[in-house]
Amino acid sequence: MDDYLLSPAETTAVTDAYRRVVRQCMSTFGHDFPPVAGQGKALLRSWNERRYGLADLDRARSSGYRLEQPGRTAAYKPPTPEERTVLTGDKERSPDGREIPKGGCAGQARDRLYGASHADQGLAQSLSDEGFHSSAGDARVRSAVARWSLCMRGHGFAYPGPLDPPKDPRFQGGAPSELERTVAATDVRCKSEGHLVEVWSSVEAARQTELIGRHRSGLAAAARAKRALLERAARLQGPPR
């Protein structure tokens, strides 16, 4: 299903283009919003990187379950009431009497990025979710998860499934502890020993293939819309100003 979804890097590119268009529009009304942000980087290399839980032993040993922080420098700055009016277009005119674009600067940016496409932008994501949850119930996947859980218990760590360790309250906030790194490394090794990622991804890929076959028309339209969106984002990209 990845062919129909924006990758993390593509999502960042679209977000940067959107911010740039909003900022240009806002500046024409005398507002410095949104604040300039440094070039960011995607937290994940792909959406599948942790689809079945952590699977990178080096990251487990160094960072536990934590993700790298994005490389942005600007903190969130909520818009002032005047900025919000121009941003959202909740009024037809700005405080100084100038006409605001329909939908505000945010609406203008969406129109310039997404154009007039009526493709179902959520179809691919909903099918991806459906494939994931469907595959989770497959007997082969349940068996692989049971092997992983048994392996973890053998090392003194009790978790029902591979998506549970990152939710452990002990691993929230602050820097990763030695315990977190140990659990994470054991988690990855248990996945490898039981071939959990290979089994689950194989089952899910088959599910996704079935779903693609049933939704070819809608997904073809989604793929065209994705290509057009990335082309528009590339044209609009540049250093924020």
Average pLDDT score, the chain:
91
Least confident of 41-55, 81-95, 138-152, 176-190: 41-55
**Residue 53 above 50 pLDDT?**
yes
pTM of the model: 0.84
Give the three-state DSSP class for 93.
Answer: strand
Quick: pLDDT tens for 169-225.
999 989 999 999 999 999 999 999 999 999 999 999 999 999 999 999 999 999 999
Give mean pLDDT, residues 130-153: 98
Residue 109: C-alpha distances to residues 18, 26, 153 (Å)? 6, 11, 51
Confidence of residue 240 (pLDDT cuts 50, 70, 90): very low
Nearest in space to 145 (alpha carbons), one of 61, 52, 56: 52
Confidence of residue 35 (pLDDT cuts 50, 70, 90): confident
Residues 6+ apart with CB under 8 A from 114: 225, 229, 232
Element (H, E) at 189: helix 178-194
Quick: pLDDT tens for 81-111.
999 999 999 999 998 899 999 999 999 999 9
Nearest in space to 141 (alpha carbons), one of 188, 190, 197: 197
d(CA 218, CA 214): 9
Q: Which residue has the tokens 């309250």?
A: 169
